């Protein structure tokens, strides 16, 4: 149990395009999902907390107009990187926390974004 999927796993796009990443909890309902970014040889950095049915809470320094988050259901959250630039190239990972039980997070497999 506690499986989280993420799609796509890899994206290569031109500068200026927008990229949408989906995060799904497959066998549980997730009231809270988190979006992280990880640069090479660094730890995960929390970008935003996504709560079903409400606006996401962004961490300091993360532009909410650039990284659009939608948590439309208890099993799906999306992150859209708008007008992507090469400096946005990174490993984006989502995690989901079940609505009941321990506050363990389960991570998706990540999306590797390369902006040319």
Partner 1 sequence: RKEVEQDPGPFNVPEGATVAFNCTYSNSASQSFFWYRQDCRKEPKLLMSVYSSGNEDGRFTAQLNRASQYISLLIRDSKLSDSATYLCVVNLPNTNAGKSTFGDGTTLTVKP
Taking the least distance from each CB to partner 1, the nearer of 49 and 70 is: 49
Smallest gap from residue 51 Cβ to partner 1 (A): 8
For residues 35 and 48, the answer to whether their CB atoms sit within 8 Å is yes
Smallest gap from residue 82 Cβ to partner 1 (A): 24
* Residue ranges binding partner 1 (CB under 8 A): 32, 34, 42-44, 46, 49, 57, 91, 93, 97, 102-110, 112
Taking the least distance from each CB to partner 1, the nearer of 83 and 104 is: 104
Taking the least distance from each CB to partner 1, the nearer of 1 and 14 is: 1
Reading phi first (left if > 0) and then psi (alpha if -120 to 50, else beta), residue 5 is in beta
């Amino acid at each position: 149990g506690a499986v989280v999927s993420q799609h796509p796993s890899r994206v290569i796009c031109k500068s200026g395009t927008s990229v949408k990443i989906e995060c799904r909890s497959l066998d549980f309902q997730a009231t809270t999902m988190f979006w992280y970014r990880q640069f090479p040889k660094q730890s995960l950095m929390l970008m935003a907390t996504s709560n079903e049915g409400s606006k996401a809470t962004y961490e300091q320094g993360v532009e909410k107009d650039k990284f659009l988050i939608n948590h439309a259901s208890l099993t799906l959250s999306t992150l859209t990187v708008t007008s992507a630039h090469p400096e946005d190239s990174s490993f984006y990972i989502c995690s989901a926390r079940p609505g009941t039980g321990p506050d363990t997070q389960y991570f998706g497999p990540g999306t590797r974004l390369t902006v040319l």
